[in-house]
Amino acid sequence: MLEKIIRLLIIFISFAFINKSFAADQGEIVPQKLRVEYLKNPVIDEMLPRLSWVLTSNENDQAQTAYQIGVASSIQKLNGNKFDVWNTGKVLSNQNIQIYYKGKKLKSRGVYYWKVKVWDKNGIPGPWSKSAFWTMGLLSKSEWKAEWIGLDLYNQNREPQLILPPAPYLRKSFTLNKAIKVAQVYVTALGLYELYINGQRIGKDYFTPGWTDYNKRVYYQVYDVKSYLTKGTNVVGAVLSYGWYAGYVGPGLFVGLRKVRAFYGKIPKLKVQIEITFTDGSKKIIISDRTWKGSDGPLRESDIQMGDTYDARLELIGWDKPGYDDSSWRKVEVFPDNPKRKIEVYPGVPVRINREITPVSISSLPGGKYIFNMGQNFAGVVRLKVKGKRGQKIVIRYGEMLHKDGTLMTENLRKARATDTYILKGDPNGETWVPNFTYHGFQYVEVTGLSEKPTDSTITGLQIGSRMSTTGEFETSDPEVNRLYQNIVWTQLSNMLEVPTDCPQRDERLGYSGDAQIFIGSAVMNLNVAAFFKKWLVDLNDDQNKNGLYPDYAPAPLSWGDRYPYHPGWMEGGIIIPFTLYQTYGDIKNLEKFYPQMKKLIDYGYKKTKGKCYYDEGEWAEYGKGHLGLGDWLSIGPTTADDIIASIYLGYSIKLMKEISEVLGYKGDVKYYSNLFRKFQFGFIHHYINAGGKVVINEHKYDFYPKYKKAEGISGDTQTTYANLIYMGLLPDSLEKKAAKHLVELINKNKGKLTTGFLGVKQLLPALSETGHDDLAEKIFLNKEYPGWLYEVENGATSIWEHWDSYSKKAGFASSEMNSFDHYVFGSVCEWMFHNLAGIQNNGVAYDSILLNPYIDNHFSCVKAAYESVHGEILSYWKKDGDKIIYQTKIPVGVKARIFIPSQKDKLPEVNGQSLSKYKSMKLIGYKDGKWIVETPSGNYTFSSLIDSQPLKKGIKRKNR
């Protein structure tokens, strides 16, 4: 009997236990991915950093109703819930991003541990998150005891045409007598550095400390170096390179500028400070100063554009370890600091080697040359593995394409030598080399000088770029469209290397503001670019002209003589990009910080238009004064008048400023910019738009233009004009309809093909979709003939090209001088692919409210897009299954969605295998254009519905255009 009772008791207890854990699992929403200023456990120097987390739940219809953040000065305190730095207590709020720290004043070098817990929609608290931390850098310049040191090697080793001095090696040895508790190194350079302690490289970052306007600021990195140091003798060493500070930057050589390199200084300099705390509490600091010694070494040439040359025979064996005889080394020079230059913690994402690529084929050419085909165009370098005789010279050249005869095509690199050279020391076990301070854009590698037949491990591709997490996924039933998407992502990876570059291969590689503003809406879908652009926006604002114009590229060391480096469509990047970051990440800080500078841009336009807020013909484009626009760069067909472009971009910027001032609560400015926008609309419409809604200009006012600009006529009635007016929401509804009609007419007249250049390409398809022409948008998108996205794919592209016909199998190369095969601008169609084709749309701020409304037709049998928003993953995935459509969706915790489910009208779709009416949380809105519309809170929902005809998605205007 007793036994029976015990058994029953056990069953009862275990049932209760199972039930309890089941209940706990169900009710929980768990904060994950704790981030500070978008970064995981970072070093920062912001006094009011922003915290964020992402919520996950096993349950549908979940939301956060309150949170508690705890911050402690040690992990022990955090674990014991002793929040001695900040305890928010329970805060009733659904906010999980952009939460400003408001605890005790943060201290230099402080390490802060934090965690968070949240209450769900029923007010039930979940568990504490895993702990995270952040570390503060040196908060005042006076805490830097280290000096700038360097070695002048400028006149050594001159090439006939190029100035390529060798890289300085610097070292210092020091002794530590006690056991170490903590050791941090603070390190930076004017130029580029690699830091070594006791023979080991510190950190995995490349191109440190990053590119800034070095006259205004320089960033530093912080690394934990405790494990690298020992009791006894230690050595710290650094290799410096010229980088953006002292090396070749931009196309100066090519266009014949007077200054082509050394824009900020001639000699690279190092500043390093190692701070050690011993277990007994005492401290020691090792700094860069006049006690260091320097020498040239094996790195004979080192330049981002030109390449590295390494003579392994000259290796300074053991130079970065104790016991090395540096008696022949010179004393370093100490350089004064520029007191105006700020020194700050690097706020972006580090540049790293992100993936390795194995060649897909190797072919041989006369003269002992081998061509390695990497199968993919990308930015980076290669790892060379080689065996041979001492003094044997291996020359590695890079190219994006091959000529017909199989030789490397390098004409499009212009003056970028893009050549790395390795001279063997003759190690019988073989030698491995990776160039440190250069990168190239390439798919093909030409290697000369090998004495043995190469294998696929002779050359390994190393893809380099700013390391960002992937946020987008896009796949369809059409392999060519999938390839296009991959090409877009690869091109983004190639060009987000420290700054958003135009291209990674030729002598340009500048952070073009136009290219970046065009691509930003696509960039945010593919990778988490929040911290990357936060950093670059500082560069852009640092180099804003005094008169308010943002430069064509930033940092902006080059000056073009008489040419005017400010252009409509480029300079507005200073407003469009921070606004897009706000829409995507809810980031108000950029808007606040740069607001006064954004205002200056509008002030410039206001003044130049004499208060009209639009430009009459010729008013922007004052030829002779150098104000000629870049216009709709690389468009096909008639040139869109520069004054139309300038006006549209001014009008759009004013409109965005109105929205930005609203976000920031600057009421007076909301009124001011609303008023300016009305002026723009009124003036622009009256001057340029006729009764039929057509944009007309007085072409003769451009008679003064050079021939190349007028070759195909100058017009206002272009695809680019209408696409922009619609996309930017610059017209009242009645005129917008007419604009759409003209746009469609122009496209039809052009046999269904696009004519847009840089400034119309991203707008074209969204403008069509929004005005009810998804079908035409898709037709243009899928066009396989010139000019079109799939034309490139058909011609073998593995990345996005600068021109629609950069290359074709039939006609060969379009041009040699300006022909990049890795240029992301035309990839800005990605925006449309996510928002319209797959139908994931932001309907609030930072995707806190979304629309899921895919375009479904006969071309595809499935389209799948996923987007990792700051609230979590969003999925829109439909596929055909006989006469059924299966539509799978995911909505993050706390996010509201309006879902458009293609379906017959007389039969409601099923949700997760049940009748829709059973889902109480799901609100049926109605039936429109072949789709049932429901509103739903978070969760995973799979809809299944019957369709009879092909439903077309009707135009839906995006919020906050």
- Binding residues for ligand BGC (CB under 6 A): 502-503, 508, 512, 514-515, 552, 630, 633
What is the nearest approach in angstroms of ligand BGC to the Cβ of residue 442?
Answer: 17
Burial 611-625 (b: 16+ CB within 10 A, else e): ebbbbbbbbbbeeee
Q: What is the sign, positive or negative, of the torsion defined by CA atoms of 171, 172, 177, 180?
A: negative
The CB-of-620 to ligand BGC minimum distance in angstroms stands at: 16
Residue with smaller CB distance to ligand BGC, 512 or 860: 512
Closer Cβ to ligand BGC, 168 or 568, answer by number = 568
CB atoms within 10 A of CB 774: 24
Residues 738, 920 contacting (CB under 8 angstroms)? no
Nearer CB in complex with ligand BGC: 630/764: 630
**What is the distance between the alpha carbons of residues 278 and 284, in angstroms, rounded to a whole number?**
8
Q: How far is the CB of 348 from ligand BGC (least distance, A)?
A: 21
Task: Give the CB-nearest residue to ligand BGC.
Answer: 502
CA distance 63 to 92: 12
Are β-strands 419-423 and 307-311 bridged in parallel, bridged antiparallel, or unpaired? parallel
Minimum CB–partner distance for residue 413 and ligand BGC (Å): 13
Least CB distance to ligand BGC at residue 93 (A): 42
CB of 492 to ligand BGC, least distance (A): 14
Distance of closest approach, residue 572 Cβ to ligand BGC, in angstroms:
13
Min separation Cβ 558 and ligand BGC, Å = 12
> H-helix or E-strand containing 778?
helix 774-782
Which of the 8 DSSP states describes residue 350? -
CB of 553 to ligand BGC, least distance (A): 8
As measured in angstroms, the least distance from the Cβ of 515 to ligand BGC is 5
Residue (234 or 819) nearer to ligand BGC, CB? 819
* Choice between 251 and 307, CB closer to ligand BGC: 251
> Which of these, 458, 450, 358, 365, lies nearest to 408 by C-alpha position?
365
Question: What does the H/E/C string look like for 754-776?
Answer: CCCCHHHHHHHHHHHHHCCCHHH
Residue 63 structure tokens: 């939301």
Nearest alpha carbon to residue 957 among 776, 773, 769, 755:
769
Closer to ligand BGC by CB, 552 or 778: give it. 552
CB-nearer residue toward ligand BGC: 400 or 508: 508
- For ligand BGC, the closer of residues 149 and 558 by Cβ is 558
Closer CB to ligand BGC, 673 or 821, in the complex = 821
Residue whose CB is less far from ligand BGC, 101 or 512? 512
Q: Please state the closest distance from residue 552 (CB atom) to ligand BGC, in A.
A: 6
Query: Which 3 state secondary structure label does DSSP give 254?
Result: helix
Q: Where are the beta strands (DSSP E) in 590-743?
A: 639-640, 714-715
b vs e for 696-717, b when ≥16 Cβ sit within 10 Å of the residue's Cβ?
ebebebbeebeeebeeeebbbb
CA angle (821 as vertex; 816, 823 as ends), nearest 5 = 115
Residue 487 C-beta: closest distance to ligand BGC, Å:
17
Angle among Cα 465, 469, 473 to the nearest 5 degrees reads 110
What are the φ and ψ backbone dihedral angles of 689, each rounded to 5 degrees?
-110, 125
Give residue for tokens 């295998």. 913
**Cα–Cα dist 845/591, whole Å:** 14
Report whether 890 contacts 943 (CB < 8 A): no
Contact 244, 206 (CB under 8 A): no
The 3-class secondary structure across 133-196, one letter per residue, is EEEECCCCHHHCCCCEEECCCCCCCCCCCCCCCCCEEEEEEEEECCCEEEEEEEEEEECEEEEE
- What is the token pair recorded at 311? 């003579």
Q: Which is nearer to ligand BGC, 578 or 629 (CB)?
A: 629
Other Cβ atoms within 10 Å of 657 Cβ, number? 26
Question: Minimum distance from CB of 177 to ligand BGC (Å)?
Answer: 56
C-alpha 119, offset from chain centre: 34
Beta bridge partners of 36: 39, 51
Report d(CA 3, CA 12) in Å as an integer.
14
Task: Centre a 10 Å sphere on the Cβ of residue 256 and count the other Cβ atoms it contains.
Answer: 9
Q: Which is nearer to ligand BGC, 706 or 882 (CB)?
A: 706
Q: Where are the alpha helices (DSSP H) in 442-496?
A: 479-495
**Residue that has been written with the tokens 């990776």 in this structure:** 434
Coil, helix or strand at residue 217: strand
Nearer to ligand BGC, 83 or 512 (CB): 512
Residue placing its CB nearer to ligand BGC in the complex, 502 or 543: 502
Cβ at position 574, least distance to ligand BGC in Å:
15
Minimum gap (Å) between residue 501 Cβ and ligand BGC: 9
Nearer to ligand BGC, 508 or 774 (CB): 508
